[in-house]
Amino acid sequence: MNNTLVKGLQLLEVLARSREPQGVSDLAARLSLGKSNVHRLLQALVELGYVLKDETTAQYQVSLRLWELGAAVEVGFRIKAAASEAMTRLLARTRETVHLSVLDGEEVVYVHKLDSPEPVRAYSEIGGRAPAFCVATGKAMLAWQPAAVLASVASHLRAHTPRTITDPQEYLREMDRIRANGYAVNRGEWRETVWGVAAAIRGVKGNVLAAIGVSGPSARIKPGNIKVLADEVIAAARLVERSLEGSVARNTAEAA
């Protein structure tokens, strides 16, 4: 086990549980570490944005980044629970692998999936990642990001297959089509023989939380049946949204 990583995480835990900012000496004593070691760890955590340093008092405290990470994990668990019924229905109606994804920077993370019962199917792993700009769930979420984010993504597109969109203007037009149609299509842009169709899942405030989609071999997912699959993934996304709304309503009622 990496000792530096372990010590850094222990230091972060101490700071997270401290009600007041802490100095190097106090932290060193609590962790039974040398001051110089603690100071190096703190510098690294400050550079990564997990810790804030008060230059006047030379004391340290955790930043909101930990809260952001915790909130993201909580949202992931909540969406996964809310999507269970919709994913099961989508699998039954399409017989293609169903993915539930969230956006992490410029990558998608697969938080849940249901495998196709077909012997030839799309393969992926829960917790796996893929470049958002060329998979259906990623494109479905990216399309609703601010213009500056889209411009940044479009500025460094990289080909993974001959079908990957790499021209910035063409990619921005693709984002326009996704917003207009309400669904995204991956036409073999990440893995040449795998196509996918997906739709974004929105929260009660209209913000994009995740995306749900199906993927399968290009021998089955073809231009002729894209619209049928699109209707199914859109319906699944709306079902997840209704489930999330119900969850929020129940939590509000319980809190009251």
Backbone phi, then psi, for 249, in 5-degree steps? -65, -40
Say if residue 176 is in the same domain as residue 236: yes
Say if residue 112 is in the same domain as residue 237: yes
Pick from 142, 118, 79, 131: nearest CA to 214: 118
Backbone phi, then psi, for 92, in 5-degree steps? -65, -35
Q: What is the mean pLDDT of each run of 10 residues along the chain (256 residues)?
A: 81 90 93 92 92 92 80 72 94 97 91 92 86 98 95 96 97 97 97 97 90 96 95 97 72 44
Say if residue 116 is in the same domain as residue 234: yes
Say if residue 136 is in the same domain as residue 106: yes
Does pTM top 0.75 for this prediction? no
Say if residue 89 is in the same domain as residue 193: yes
Say if residue 84 is in the same domain as residue 54: no
The answer to whether 215 and 99 are in contact (CB under 8 A) is yes
CATH code, 34: 1.10.10.10
pLDDT at 121 (0 to 100): 86
End-of-domain residue from the set 30, 63, 96 = 63
Say if residue 156 is in the same domain as residue 39: no
pLDDT at 148 (0 to 100): 94
CATH code, 135: 3.30.450.40
End-of-domain residue from the set 63, 85, 115 = 63
Number of residues assigned to the chain: 256
Say if residue 96 is in the same domain as residue 14: no
pLDDT at 2 (0 to 100): 63
Domain count, the chain: 2
pLDDT at 245 (0 to 100): 85
Range of the domain at 34: 3-63
The answer to whether 100 and 120 are in contact (CB under 8 A) is no
Say if residue 58 is in the same domain as residue 168: no
Say if residue 38 is in the same domain as residue 161: no
